[in-house]
Structure 1
Amino acid sequence: MKYLLRKIMLYGFILWAAITLNFLIPRLMPGDPVTLLMERMEGQISPDAVAALTAAYGISDEPMIVQYIDYMGNILTGDFGRSISYFPVPVTELALQALPWTLGLVGTTTVLSFLIGTALGVVLAWRRGKVTDYMLPALTFLNAVPYFWMALLLVLVFSVNLGWFPIAGGADRFMVQGFYPEYILSVLYHSLLPAITIILSSFAGSVIGMRNMTVTVLGEDYVTMAEAKGLKPSTILFTYGARNAILPSITGFAMSLGAVVSGSMLTEVIFNYPGIGYILFQAVQSQDFPLMQGLFLLISVCVILANLLADVVYVFLDPRTRVEA
């Protein structure tokens, strides 16, 4: 319990630091959202509108500590300001619209990639030295292929040349969003190629890492003792081998799970998939500081929560974390 309390306090401090940096960085940069918006409108904004925009974006001449207190209050109420490129839509609304798309595609494929990679890595470790080792060069190649290159190649072959999948979008643009069979099938159809891209580009790393770690664990003395005691091979593999070998993989999985909210940005951009990564790319292109600020904070929170979840899982998998020094 003390282990988890220490971790919660640590991640609480990291969260506070992330929020503070998120507050300071835009205020230390030259310019402000209102000036950018006026430049885009080519000066076609009245002085009264400028004052209203200044208040809407939370720009103030108050001391920095007062602005910081107001900012923390807005964060607690879920108010991240208004977007410049989508003005006057609030940042929170844009994030909530894009979040289900990213969680549905990138979240699901990340979990599937980890499960497939971990299971296959354990099997390859148990069958080391056999014909299955010929898979390792292909897995090493897949692990080295960048997301964007894999996405472009699959789009060229299966969308442009063969026409089996749509080139871009999250669903048929002529359909009304809703939970009805036709729209759900359209969403699944549009997500197949991006999902295949993410799984092919990410599962190989899990396979190689899990195989190497399992091979190392299977060479330990306690595994040799288990074999000498005549335990079943499946018991040795999963109870003694895989359970200990998976611990380092959980940390990597937690990091990738936390980064799900940012999406596989390049994949989402290539497929014009309406997720967090695609909106973040548009915000960077448009210099939409309020939207970038809100999305960065959302990503930071998700990474922290994912790592905290990994530490909780560690408590159940590794008895050493439950034993006081």
Structure 2
Amino acid sequence: MTPEIAQPDALAAGTTATRAVKGRGRVPWRFLGSRALFYLFTLWAALTINFFLPRMMKGDAVDQYLARNRNVSPEAAEALRALLGLDTDKSLLQQYLDYWGLLLRGDLGISLLHGLRPVTEVIAQALPWTIGLVGFATVVSFAIGTIGGAVVGWRRGSRLDALVPITTFLGTIPYFWLGLLAIAVFSVNLGWFPIGKAYGVGVTPEWSLEFVGEVIVHGTLPALTIIIASLGGWMLGMRNMMLTVLDEDYITVAQAKGMPNRRVLWGYAARNAVLPQIQSFALSIGFIVGGTIVMEMVFSYPGVGKLLLDATNAKDYALMQGVFLILTISVLVANIIADIAYAFLDPRTRQTEA
């Protein structure tokens, strides 16, 4: 008799999630090393562009300062340029080398727009507001949209499908109008939330329950508008991926074996469908540091986005470069974390790219 050849189990062999469990103990060093080199090159290129791009603009921060202060002497103006690294006696290459020397020492320069304060101090003051508000809203929106999209995709054809066009429609409304509409309805007419700012006028920031509560009240309305504006994209993307995954053979085999629907949904279908969402989420996490400029303008919120806008208008090179540096590093770190998570969840990624 010819011995029977054991056939592989489609459920065990066909899912990314199952293969990830088998290979979880192996660290993909080669894959991570190649990605690290790529990101180091990307960081160098971004910082080089960060140096040259502002200097291609007409005028500089000192010119803007002189336009507002007519009584500054030419000697004081030249001293300011030398202090800001804009000394015309130095070549552009020498300025570039000095820029890297200061950068490697952690010196981001001084901000003329903020009274010659160190750029690190100015950014450190605005960064927590942006991360606390936009970061929280982005994570909540991603979680609700991904979980909701998985459920809607699993129960396709039901009344839950109506959530997708509703949330997508809300996401197509310009955020400027959505924020103003929220202020008009919930702040002006109903009086449920403050109109703007991160805390009340005359309040001194301090670590107390009263101040934290006021910050939460002031941040609730802008956070809700961010969640509503971005929810549709997460839900639509996850729902479409679920529809693709549900047609795979291993899902059919799992259901044929009598597995509970909850296990099939979250253990196999959603776990594989969420992979493309991870990269998008990493990009969103990275751009949190940049803040939502429109949101910060509408709600007069003291975040990094408004700080970057003010620095651009004033041509404050040091502040622009400092904000761009933080933004670049945050995007790269978020993508590195996404690559690591992707490599462990989907072994095919590290096998292909290593």
Normalising TM by the smaller chain, what interval?
over 0.9
Provide the residue aligned with 1:271 in structure 2.
Answer: 299
- CA deviation profile, 1:137-157 (whole Å, cap 9, x unmatched): 212212212222211110010
**Deviation (angstroms), 1:50:** 2.5
Distance 2:244 2:263 in 1: 17
Provide the residue aligned with 2:16 in structure 1.
Answer: none
1:203-282 matches, cutoff 5 A: 203-282=231-310
Provide the residue aligned with 1:57 in structure 2.
Answer: 84
The DSSP-based 3-state class of the residue aligned with 1:68 is helix
Percent identity of the aligned residues? Answer: 48
CA contact (8 A) 1:33 1:290 kept: no
1:159-174 matches, cutoff 5 A: 159-174=187-202
The answer as to 2:135 corresponding to 1:107 is yes
Q: Which piece of structure 1 moves more, 247-256 or 229-238?
A: 229-238
CA contact (8 A) 2:245 2:272 kept: yes
The DSSP-based 3-state class of the residue aligned with 1:259 is helix
Distance 2:165 2:61 in 1: 50
**Deviation (angstroms), 1:34:** 2.1
Distance 2:313 2:331 in 1: 24
**Deviation (angstroms), 1:96:** 0.7
Q: TM-score, normalised by structure 2?
A: 0.87
Distance 1:282 1:294 in 2: 13
1:124-163 matches, cutoff 5 A: 124-163=152-191
Provide the residue aligned with 1:295 in structure 2.
Answer: 323
Q: CA RMSD in A?
A: 1.6
Distance 1:322-1:14 versus aligned 2 partners, 3 A rule? closer
Query: Looking at both structures, which has the greater relative contact order when contacts are Cα pairs under 8 Å and sequence separation is at least 6?
Result: 2
The answer as to 2:22 corresponding to 1:22 is no
Which amino acid in structure 2 is aligned with residue 52 of structure 1? A
**Deviation (angstroms), 1:304:** 1.2
Runs of 4+ in 1 over 4 A off after TM superposition: none
**Deviation (angstroms), 1:29:** 2.8
Unaligned 5+ segments in structure 2 are 1-28
Provide the residue aligned with 1:317 in structure 2.
Answer: 345
CA contact (8 A) 1:125 1:212 kept: yes
**Deviation (angstroms), 1:57:** 0.2
**Deviation (angstroms), 1:47:** 4.0
Distance 2:150 2:306 in 1: 35
Which amino acid in structure 2 is aligned with residue 281 of structure 1? L
